[in-house]
Each structure stands twice: as structure tokens, then as C-alpha cells.
Amino acid sequence: AQKITQTQPGMFVQEKEAVTLDCTYDTSDPSYGLFWYKQPSSGEMIFLIYQGSYDQQNATEGRYSLNFQKARKSANLVISASQLGDSAMYFCAMREGLGSGYALNFGKGTSLLVTP
């Protein structure tokens, strides 16, 4: 079964606007971590933001924030004030407990295009 679901294959946003990328997850483990990565056309996976399952506050990193709704099992990424350089693939990922040496399960990604 898919553990990470990203339902938006592609998204458009105008420069300087905010955009939300959706992510839902499935786990029965009480201890888990949620991550967002950006993959530009060069291919490198760039870490953006992390949310632990026990964290009380939503994570924020500059223009990135994570809208963590634990009961709904969602961890949406919000990018504020979009820039042309934000155009890329965005992947949501989950680490469950101690299994697989902290390996990550990835969603299929969302392609974001920022337009002028």
C-alpha cells in the first residue's frame, strides 16, 4: 500500500503568490518523521523541511512551512512568495520508527511551475 500520497501531479503558481502542495501519509507507528525535498532539473534532492510526529508546532524554514494535521495524516508544504527558482519537482517523504535504518518512503512527487 502506498504510504505517501501526493495527489497533484502538476501545479502552477504565479510569481509572488503562495502555493500549497498536498501530502497525506499512512502509518500505524506513533513515532515518525515527515520530510519535503525539492528536486530541480539537475536532479539533486534538496532537503527543505522536517516535521516530527511529536512536534507540537508546525515546522517553518524561511519561505517554507509545513501544515501538519496529525489527525488527518496530512503534511502539506506551503511555499510563500513563490519565486521563478522554485520551479521543480517536490517530494514528500516519511521515516517510520527505527525500521530500515531510518530509510524514507517517498511519494511520486508534484511538479511545480512558477510563472512570471
Restricted to residues 52-111, the positions that interact with other proteins (CB under 8 A) are 52, 91, 93, 95, 100-109
Nearer to other proteins, 13 or 48 (CB): 48
CB nearer to other proteins: pick between 30 and 101: 101
User: What SS3 string covers the chain?
Assistant: CCCEECCCCEEEEECCCCEEECCEECCCCCCEEEEEEEECCCCCCEEEEEEECCCCCCCEECCEEEEEECCCCEEEEEECCCCHHHCEEEEEEEEECCHHHHCCEECCCEEEEEEC
Of 13-21, 41-49, 55-63, 72-80, the window that binds other proteins (rule: CB under 8 A) is: 41-49
Q: Based on the shown chain and the rule CB under 8 A, indicate whether residue 50 belongs to the binding site for other proteins.
A: yes
Using CB under 8 A, which of 33, 36, 75, 96 touches other proteins? 33
> Which of 35, 36, 68, 90 is the binder for other proteins (CB under 8 A)?
35
Give the Cα separation of 98 and 93 in Å (integer): 15
Q: Would you tell me which residues interact with other proteins (CB under 8 A)?
A: 33, 35, 37, 42-47, 50, 52, 91, 93, 95, 100-109
